[in-house]
Amino acid sequence: MKQIETFEEAYAAVEKFTHYRQNRSKFGADDTEPRCFFEIVMRTAFCTASPIESLFEGENPWELYSSVKGWKSVSDCLTRKVKVLVKQLREARWRVTVEIIKYYGWN
């Protein structure tokens, strides 16, 4: 995985995750709850510098529509993708990480 070196690369990485989530709207992945959960994950990762793993405990941390077949696979994929995103941003150049945190208001 290539290190993120510019604000544009960081922005593109966040938008790629957002695009995936939006494309899974039939599972409720673009509803308020998953969007808020994403914000919680990012604030936990970057404001408190706490481990994020405990946030994913429970059967449905993203609060997807559990009545829609395949929701668990989407939930697992969202979790994998957001963990990769956090890792990428934590390993990015310090200034880029600060800029993206301010841009999205995760501080």
Which pLDDT score, from 0 to 100, does residue 3 have? 87
In tens, the pLDDT along 25-68 reads 999 999 999 999 999 999 999 988 789 999 999 999 999 999 99
- Average pLDDT value over all residues in the chain: 94
pTM, entire model: 0.93
Residue 66 host element (H or E): none
**Dihedral sign for Cα atoms in the order 27, 70, 64, 36:** negative
Which pLDDT score, from 0 to 100, does residue 49 have? 73
Domain chopping of the chain, boundaries: 7-104
Which pLDDT score, from 0 to 100, does residue 50 have? 82
Which pLDDT score, from 0 to 100, does residue 44 have? 94
